[in-house]
Chain A
């Protein structure tokens, strides 16, 4: 096997990089620059941006927690969907495997729930 098989991939890399650089560069050059207060503010999930002390300050850990929990349950769906589509082909084995998978997710869920991970305050 020679490296020639990778030429398309490298080309794709180059294209993607070029596009990103081009977009950023062009918008810097040709884009209008009319800043106002709202535009200069940091975007924080739509809430009022908190005053930023020197060095970035502390950020409530709850946001991270919620985001992480979301990802966990989100991923469950990602696995469930293809399994549902090919349920017939996978048969009993797939069913048991999926039960096991869901069980482990529920163990995590029970833990989070009981230990107050779902409460905002």
Chain B
């Protein structure tokens, strides 16, 4: 009883997560102690500093390949790469979140419970800052994602899933404009997310019943040994996959995506599209590559069908959208499909190409949402597609930037969209998944049309009375936009360095 055996903990390897959790707690204290007017001034540098410090530790640990904290956490190539990616994407998204100069009052409501148009609400619109709680919440979410991609057993993964999901539910509800839409989105996201978590948890239970363990190495042993009931294994894996595919927004678990992307404040949407997707696919990679590679032949056809369905649903429904944020949401769904194609290669190239795709897509999507925050009129963002008609005449620079980003989404060569699609399709081809590649190529052709439609609309229509103006971005949004566009271009023209990095980061520890 007295000689309790404590697990060895490598604090340096855990430092990025610890730092972010610490910063988030500090952020809560700032909320409590600092006067309202100065909170933003403290929170933004605090958050950025924390992320940079975490990134420094991730880079310092770049060579580490080990398990720590009693096998609960694996610090290996993919984990470190994904942590780095989440942090960097988080920095860019945080810049967008920190932007306050676009409209007085900012994109966040001070108190979601305030009725629209009440005295307090108008005073916020008149210039009082919005909720600064967004910053600690974002920090908690990012810290949870870092843990999510490094979790080496299913329970840690579940805890991390909840840690990053709960702040996101709250963040979704914070939009100041179109508040009811935002709250509806948050409620939907919360309810469906809770279901998904329940599925995930039930999956853990069944897998535990099958393997008698929750760490991926033991599960892998059990799967390769082939003992135990197949029913438990497949049911458990299916339920686990549902939980993860929900977060990844794969069809048919995608139904929340358009509503939530549309309702959430746009900077938060960009955070979800970039970071949550990265985290979800990071975890999916780990589950499939570390825990269940022995069952590849069993799950590949099913998840393959899901991938094709996802690509099809995303591409076909994107064509019918009339709202810019919903269109980007469906494109995000379709991209989840392409990512699944890379995942299902089940080869080292599959891992590295998926990692590359996540980074490339993340930067592009943040930049795209940054443009969305700029196109606005007196009622906030003008997201209806018809309002974007003629934007090319009104503001050629931003229309040009957005065109470039859409071309990247469409996978046109010399943008990151092409290199990343090429990488995942190449990996899947190498993994013998020709059917997925064919479906991917065909749907990416389909998917080019909604983007081209927007491009045509922006450039070839005359600006009407209702064409909104494009606000001059503040320093933060400009920075986010420039970073996003530059990375999109750079990864399209010179993908070599990052591809090398992903190749070197492709080894899981088991």
A adjacent to B, CB under 8 Å: yes
> Which residues of chain A have a CB within 8 Å of any CB of chain B?
1-3, 6, 61, 88-91, 93, 103-104, 107-108, 110-111, 113-115
Binds A, one of B24-32, B85-93, B318-326, B452-460: B24-32
Instruction: Check B1–A111 contact: CB distance below 8 A.
Output: no
Q: Least Cβ distance of A73 to chain B in Å?
A: 16
Number of chain B residues close to chain A: CB under 8 A: 18
Q: For chain B residues 243-301, which have a beta carbon within 8 Å of chain A? A: none
Find out whether the CB atom of A110 lies under 8 angstroms from the CB atom of B2: no
Main SS class of interface, A: helix
The answer to whether A111 and B229 have CB atoms under 8 Å apart is no
Complex partner residue of B32 from A3, A89, A113, CB under 8 angstroms:
A113
CA distance A75 to B86 in the complex (A): 31
- A-B residue pairs, 9 tightest by C-beta: A114-B32, A111-B32, A110-B32, A111-B28, A107-B25, A1-B228, A107-B28, A89-B4, A89-B1
Bitwise interface map of B from 1 to 23 toward A, beta carbon under 8 Å scored 1, else 0:
11010100000000000000000
Beyond A1-B229, A104-B25, 13 additional pairs, beta carbon < 8 A: A1-B210, A3-B231, A6-B209, A89-B1, A90-B4, A93-B6, A103-B25, A107-B29, A107-B32, A110-B29, A111-B31, A111-B32, A114-B31
- 10 example contacts (A-B, Cβ-Cβ < 8 A) are as follows A1-B228, A2-B229, A88-B2, A89-B1, A103-B25, A107-B25, A111-B28, A111-B29, A114-B33, A115-B32
Chain A residues positioned under 8 Å from B1 (CB to CB): 89
Q: Can you list, as one digit per residue, whether each of B203-239 has a CB less than 8 Å from chain A (1) or not (0)?
A: 0000001101000000000000001110100000000
> Closest CB of chain B to A52's CB: distance in Å?
21
Which residues in A have their C-beta under 8 angstroms from that of B227? 1
Tell yes or no: B37 within 8 A of A by CB.
no
With a cutoff of 8 Å between Cβ atoms, the chain A residues found around residue B32 in the complex are 107, 110-111, 113-115
| Residues A61 and B113 in contact, CB atoms below 8 Å apart | yes
| B→A interface (CB under 8 Å) | 1-2, 4, 6, 25, 28-29, 31-33, 113, 209-210, 212, 227-229, 231
Taking CB as reference atom, which chain B residue is nearest A103? B25
Contacting residues, chain A, for B228 (C-beta < 8 A) = 1
- CB closest residue in chain B, given A3: B229
Hey, which chain B residues are within 8 Å of A115, CB to CB?
A: 31-32
Bound form: Cα–Cα A93–B113 in Å: 42
Tell me which of A1, A89, A93, A115 has the highest count of chain B C-beta atoms within 10 A of its own C-beta.
A1
Contacts of B209 in A (CB 8 A): 1, 6
How far, in Å, is B173 (CB) from chain A's closest CB?
13
| B29 CB contacts on chain A under 8 angstroms | 107, 110-111
Per the bound structure, the CA–CA distance linking A93 and B70 in Å amounts to: 15
